[in-house]
């Protein structure tokens, strides 16, 4: 597999340094992507860089994931209007451990092959560096003029920027440049990859390598991922979509991909999966014939959820989705955990019912009209029960006199009422 060609048809190359493709065709090449450990989980905004490393390894080259322990203490000014909050070492180490665990799902760190993935942390080589050593040995190779010409710096120093830029942030590209130099010298790493907002920092690194030791290094960046409607990719109303299930459940994760637009699905399935070109072309053609079936979104959601979580987590997410949108059973409802249940029924009307009342047992007619206003009147409820349109916990209510007691509780706390096909009500028993 030709790595550059693979990224090109997937729409994952915005800029590439001359000679990069030739270098990769010539020999096994180590390439890296830097990740600042600002949290103990990656979010889907990181996935593009991770997929670049995955494709690099698939093409027979060596991926290096660099955790920016040192640079994470500073913060990258690229594409940001204000300075980032700085982190202490303990927090950074915790974040690194969480990120490594996630990267292991995408990259093979354990094989004996020459292209086994590696994880490095720039804090390990920066912590011994004194400020004086750094400005003497590294800082002298790049002029301020060169550094100020970069877009990430220019934008922050322009008259439009209210914040200005601290010296700490200004030094960031020099530190990132030194990472590239260090990996070039220690790991024979010839390639750095990242998002297009990193182009300035990455080329500073290749220039530093050229000026200090006369070496040749290469750069490749992908476009910043956007949504077709212009909104920010990877953000929902509740914030980032995380890879860690503690922050974004597999159900919510699956739903995010399932609900992307047709145009975005077309783009994302190339970027966020390793499905072949032939199969993707066939999936897109199939989707275009019947877009209402959302087969492209479905396949995208399945692939990414399995890759990030597991096949079991995917099946549980599909099962949970079917509760609301498909013909699921009472068993499926009882199987899902409390957190997922609340996420599935987020936004549906909720009523609180006394635990004592349910323990004693209450007629369905009274429960759904007096204790919870699922129906405006008893007459209306009787009519709908007679026509088979009332469900309790996904099972048809056969009699309005049926006694609802503690045996009906889901997760020992909830009862799900349904009026007609689409009107759900969640009764919280406490």
Instruction: Tell me which residues are annotated as active site.
Output: 38, 43, 46, 80, 84, 176, 197, 232, 235-236
Q: What is the DSSP letter of 402?
A: P
Nearest-CA neighbor of 313 among 273, 260, 253?
253
Alpha-carbon dihedral of residues 187, 188, 191, 194, nearest 10 degrees? 10
Query: If 0-12 CB within 10 Å is exposed, 13-18 middle and 19+ buried, where does residue 327 land?
Result: exposed
15-37: buried (b, 16+ CB within 10 Å) or exposed (e) per residue? ebbeebbebbeeeebbbbbbbbb
Residue 412 φ then ψ, to 5°: 65, 15
Alpha-carbon dihedral of residues 15, 297, 279, 44, nearest 10 degrees? 40
Angle between helices 311-325 and 295-308 (to 10 degrees): 140
Query: If 0-12 CB within 10 Å is exposed, 13-18 middle and 19+ buried, where does residue 322 land?
Result: middle
Is residue 334 classed as helix, strand or coil in its secondary structure?
helix
Nearest-CA neighbor of 217 among 418, 12, 17?
17
Q: At CB < 8 A and 24+ separation, what contacts does 394-397 make?
A: 394/323, 394/328, 394/329, 394/330, 394/332, 394/333, 394/418, 395/330, 397/364
Tokens found for residue 59: 């093409």
Tokens found for residue 404: 């609802």
């Amino acid at each position: 597999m030709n790595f550059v060609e693979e990224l090109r048809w997937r729409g994952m190359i915005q800029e590439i340094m001359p000679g990069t493709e030739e270098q990769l065709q010539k020999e096994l090449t180590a390439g890296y992507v830097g990740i600042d450990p600002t949290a103990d989980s990656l979010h889907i905004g990181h996935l593009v860089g991770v997929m670049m490393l995955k494709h690099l390894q698939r093409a027979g080259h060596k991926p290096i994931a660099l955790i920016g322990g040192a640079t994470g203490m500073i913060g990258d000014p690229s594409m940001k209007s204000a300075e980032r909050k700085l982190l202490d070492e303990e927090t950074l180490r915790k974040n690194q451990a969480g990120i490594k665990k996630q990267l292991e799902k995408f990259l093979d760190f354990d094989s004996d092959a020459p292209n086994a993935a590696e994880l490095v942390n720039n804090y390990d080589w920066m912590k011994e560096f004194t400020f004086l050593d750094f400005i003497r040995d590294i800082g002298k190779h790049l002029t301020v003029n060169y550094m100020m010409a970069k877009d990430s710096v220019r934008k922050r120093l322009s008259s439009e920027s209210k914040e200005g830029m601290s010296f700490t942030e200004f030094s960031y590209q020099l530190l990132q440049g030194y990472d590239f130099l260090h990996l070039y010298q220690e790991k024979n790493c010839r390639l750095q990859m990242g998002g297009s907002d990193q182009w300035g920092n990455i080329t500073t690194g290749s220039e530093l390598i050229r000026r200090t030791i006369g070496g040749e290094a290469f750069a490749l960046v992908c476009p910043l991922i956007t949504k077709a409607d212009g909104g920010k990719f990877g953000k929902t109303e509740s914030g980032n979509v995380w890879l860690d299930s503690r922050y974004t459940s597999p159900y919510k994760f699956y739903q995010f991909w399932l609900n992307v637009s047709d145009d975005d699905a077309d783009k994302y399935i190339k970027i966020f999966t390793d499905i072949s070109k032939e199969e993707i072309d066939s999936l897109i053609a199939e989707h275009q014939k019947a877009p209402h079936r959302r087969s492209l979104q479905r396949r995208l959601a399945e692939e990414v959820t399995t890759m990030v979580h597991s096949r079991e987590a995917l099946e549980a997410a599909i099962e949970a989705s079917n509760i609301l949108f498909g013909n699921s059973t009472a068993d499926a409802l009882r199987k899902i955990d409390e957190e997922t249940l609340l996420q599935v029924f987020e936004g549906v009307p909720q009523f609180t019912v006394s635990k004592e009342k349910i323990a004693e047992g209450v007629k369905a007619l009274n429960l759904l009209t007096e204790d919870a206003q699922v129906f405006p009147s008893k007459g209306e409820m009787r009519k709908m029960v007679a026509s088979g349109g009332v469900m309790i916990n996904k099972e048809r209510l056969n009699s309005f006199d049926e006694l609802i007691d503690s045996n009906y509780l889901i997760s020992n706390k909830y009862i799900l009422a349904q009026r007609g096909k689409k009107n759900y009500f969640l009764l919280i028993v406490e």
